[in-house]
Amino acid sequence: MMKCKTKTESKMKKNIHIIYTACIGFVFCMAGCGQENTIRKETEQDKIMKFQIIHPSQQSKSVLRATETAFETNDQIGLYVTEQNEPLQVAGNYANNASLTYNGTAWIPAKPIYWNDGTYDVYAYYPHSSPILSVDEAKFNVALDQSTIKTANKLGGYEASDFLWASAKKQTAGNAAVSLKFRHCMSKLIVRLIKGEDYEGDLAEDATVYIHNTVPSATIDLSVGVATKALYGTEASIKAKPAGDHQYTAILVPQRIDNRRPLIEVVMKGVSYLMESKFLFKPGIQHTISLTISKNPDQVKIEIGGEIEDWESTQES
């Protein structure tokens, strides 16, 4: 006997068919949307600016491995990005004083910077500072006590004084990272203590060395990486950092000392040895002065050594 379908049964099957079709459409939509989101994320990742940060000491012939670095974990650099041939400004650039932090392996930006179809100029400096009130005459001071030790939250006096700068012009989107080769903007002085023939006993391991009569303040043009002694800066004394093996080092603002005056003082075992001299502290140059300490503090022998570019930093252990 033939059984006729009722209107209710036909309507139910129709509804089931519609629901089934809708489910299939939803599944395909979810798969397609998921793939689209993945592609979008990968595309966004491709557009993030990446940077290859190279310390001056990595460019030295004495460094054998390109993976070696003088930067340490938690070091921060500042970054500006402008459209090609546009002047660097305090604000209104494509990226304004963005910070990148070294995590021991890579440099991580506080906020990603994305490429677009343009061509860009990149400027970078170390250590990062905020706020920057002028890019033509950014203020910078070397520390008066450069013997202070670096901590997890603060640079030591020596490290904080070593101002570095880099730039890369005509950069466009691509897979390669922007290469930023840093150079020193300040001047470095190494003071070597040598025991004289008539000096009794051994040289002290805990001598204190001061560099007198230099101006510790500077202005820096961040578009070219040039440091200039502050026009109205006040001269001060800088305490050098012990570097081992009777050597002491300090970072100084580039400047010329035209008149013979007290420059280096060594305090050792309660005796002060004072050296007077004219001197030219050149930007990006390491100078070495050797002092032969004799029994008579007034008879210190002075020898000025050669000059070295792209010196290797003295790091805290």
Q: DSSP characters for 86-144? A: PPP-SSSSSEEEEEEEE-SSSEEESS--B--SS-EEEEEEES--S----SSSEEEE--S
Q: What is the pLDDT of residue 305?
A: 79
Clarify whether residues 177 and 49 are in a common domain. yes
Would you say residue 22 lies in a domain?
no
pLDDT tens digit string along 267-277?
998 999 999 98
Residue positions counted in the chain: 317
- Name the token pair of 62: 């004495």
Residue 30 has pLDDT above 60, yes or no: no
Clarify whether residues 172 and 195 are in a common domain. no
Clarify whether residues 192 and 179 are in a common domain. no
What is the CB neighbour count within 10 angstroms for residue 114? 14
Q: Give the total number of structural domains in the chain.
A: 2
Residue 16 has pLDDT above 90, yes or no: no
pLDDT tens digit string along 50-79?
999 999 988 654 443 333 448 999 999 999
Residue 232 has pLDDT above 70, yes or no: yes
Residue pair 228/218 in contact (Cβ under 8 Å)? The answer is: yes
Q: What is the pLDDT of residue 184?
A: 96
Instruction: Considering only residues 304 and 291, tell me which one the structure prediction assigns the higher pLDDT.
Output: 291
Clarify whether residues 195 and 284 are in a common domain. yes
Residue 41 has pLDDT above 90, yes or no: no
Q: What is the pLDDT of residue 200?
A: 87
pLDDT tens digit string along 90-134?
999 999 999 999 999 999 999 999 999 899 999 999 999 999 999
pLDDT tens digit string along 31-40?
555 555 544 4
Clarify whether residues 167 and 54 are in a common domain. yes
Q: What is the pLDDT of residue 17?
A: 54
162 by DSSP, 3-state: which? Answer: coil
Would you say residue 144 lies in a domain?
no
Would you say residue 87 lies in a domain?
yes
Clarify whether residues 73 and 175 are in a common domain. yes
Clarify whether residues 180 and 48 are in a common domain. yes
Instruction: Considering only residues 199 and 298, tell me which one the structure prediction assigns the higher pLDDT.
Output: 199
How much is the pTM?
A: 0.82
Q: What is the pLDDT of residue 259?
A: 87
Mean pLDDT of the chain: 85
Would you say residue 234 lies in a domain?
yes
Would you say residue 265 lies in a domain?
yes
Residue 303, C-beta contacts closer than 8 angstroms, at least 6 positions apart = 289, 290, 291, 292
Would you say residue 48 lies in a domain?
yes
Average pLDDT over residues 171-197: 93
Which alpha helices (H) appear in 261-308, and where do they start and end? none
Residue 18 has pLDDT above 80, yes or no: no
Share of the chain above pLDDT 90, in %: 63
Clarify whether residues 228 and 284 are in a common domain. yes
Residue pair 149/156 in contact (Cβ under 8 Å)? The answer is: yes
Clarify whether residues 87 and 217 are in a common domain. no
- 40 burial (CB, 10 Å; 0-12 / 13-18 / 19+) is exposed
Clarify whether residues 217 and 275 are in a common domain. yes
Q: What is the pLDDT of residue 6?
A: 54
Dist CA 249 CA 271 (whole Å): 20
Strands laid side by side in the 301-309 sheet: 241-244, 247-252, 187-195, 285-293, 301-309
Q: What is the pLDDT of residue 314?
A: 45
Q: Which helix (H) or strand (E) holds 281?
A: strand 271-281
Clarify whether residues 178 and 220 are in a common domain. no
Would you say residue 257 lies in a domain?
yes
- Name the token pair of 198: 């008539």
Clarify whether residues 78 and 180 are in a common domain. yes
Q: What is the pLDDT of residue 86?
A: 96
* Helix, strand, coil percentages in the chain from 3-state DSSP, rounded to 5: 15, 40, 45
Q: Is 263 left (phi over 0), alpha (psi -120 to 50) or beta?
A: alpha
Residue 219 has pLDDT above 50, yes or no: yes
- Name the token pair of 14: 């129709």
- Residues spanned by the domain of 85: 44-59+69-127+163-184
Instruction: Considering only residues 259 and 40, tell me which one the structure prediction assigns the higher pLDDT.
Output: 259
What is the CB neighbour count within 10 angstroms for residue 207? 19
Closest-CA residue to 81 (of 107, 112, 58): 112
Residue 28 has pLDDT above 60, yes or no: no
The amino acid at 206: D
- The domain that holds 193 is classified in CATH as 2.60.40.2670
* Domain final residue pick, 184, 213, 231: 184
Residue pair 179/276 in contact (Cβ under 8 Å)? The answer is: no
Instruction: Considering only residues 233 and 7, tell me which one the structure prediction assigns the higher pLDDT.
Output: 233
Would you say residue 139 lies in a domain?
no
Residue 169, C-beta contacts closer than 8 angstroms, at least 6 positions apart = 84, 121, 122
- The domain that holds 89 is classified in CATH as 2.60.40.2620
